[in-house]
């Protein structure tokens, strides 16, 4: 059984990005989006108009938090035979409604990929929050270019600000 990380969040967070569950490289390093082929950090930095991605994980988190963006996952735990979201089985959700009550400044949730969107809607159908889909930043989702994904992410993030 795999487990998610604690949320990266603070009292001034206004937007919550939800993935599904950390992949093997992220779990190994204890870092969100640690797979160098995952486009998350590249997209986020581009959306927020910064060209140099901080090489240190702590700097990346400071960059996000400094812009009111928090990170977490839909799943608290699940079984997964590979890095693919399609292989997630027997998932138990994180207590996202409790987190949203604890951090009332959060007004929007951005769901990283279809599995995150479908799972969020299945587990939390009555959640009163603006929740929007953004294309998966995973290297497995290659039918969109980095530029196309960046445009979609910018719309998802900026239309709520």
Domains in the chain: ranges and CATH: 2-158 (3.40.470.10)
Q: What's the pLDDT at 50?
A: 87
Q: What's the pLDDT at 22?
A: 95
Measured distance CA(83)–CA(62) in Å, rounded: 26
Q: What's the pLDDT at 4?
A: 96
Measured distance CA(146)–CA(156) in Å, rounded: 15
On whether the CB atoms of residues 136 and 29 are closer than 8 A, the answer is no
- pLDDT at 160 > cutoff 80: no
* Average pLDDT for the chain: 95
What's the pTM value of the predicted model, to 2 decimals? 0.95
Residues paired with residue 75 on neighbouring β-strands, in sequence order: 93
On whether the CB atoms of residues 152 and 134 are closer than 8 A, the answer is yes
Predicted confidence band of residue 82 (pLDDT cuts 50, 70, 90): confident
Catalytically active residues are 38
- pLDDT at 161 > cutoff 60: no
């Amino acid at each position: 059984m795999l487990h998610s990380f604690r949320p990266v969040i603070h009292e001034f967070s206004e937007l919550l990005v939800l993935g599904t569950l950390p992949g093997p490289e992220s779990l190994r390093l204890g870092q969100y989006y640690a797979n160098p082929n995952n486009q998350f950090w590249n997209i986020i930095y581009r959306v927020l108009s910064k060209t140099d991605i901080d090489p240190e994980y702590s700097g990346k988190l400071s960059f996000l938090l400094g812009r009111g963006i928090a990170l977490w996952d839909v799943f608290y735990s699940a079984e997964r035979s590979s890095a693919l979201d399609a292989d997630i089985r027997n998932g138990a959700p994180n207590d996202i409604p409790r987190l949203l009550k604890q951090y009332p400044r959060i007004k929007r949730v951005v769901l990283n990929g279809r599995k995150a969107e479908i799972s969020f809607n299945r587990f939390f159908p009555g959640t009163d929050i603006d929740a929007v889909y953004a294309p998966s930043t995973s290297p497995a989702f290659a039918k969109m270019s980095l530029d196309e994904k960046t445009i979609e992410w910018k719309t998802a993030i900026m239309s709520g600000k």
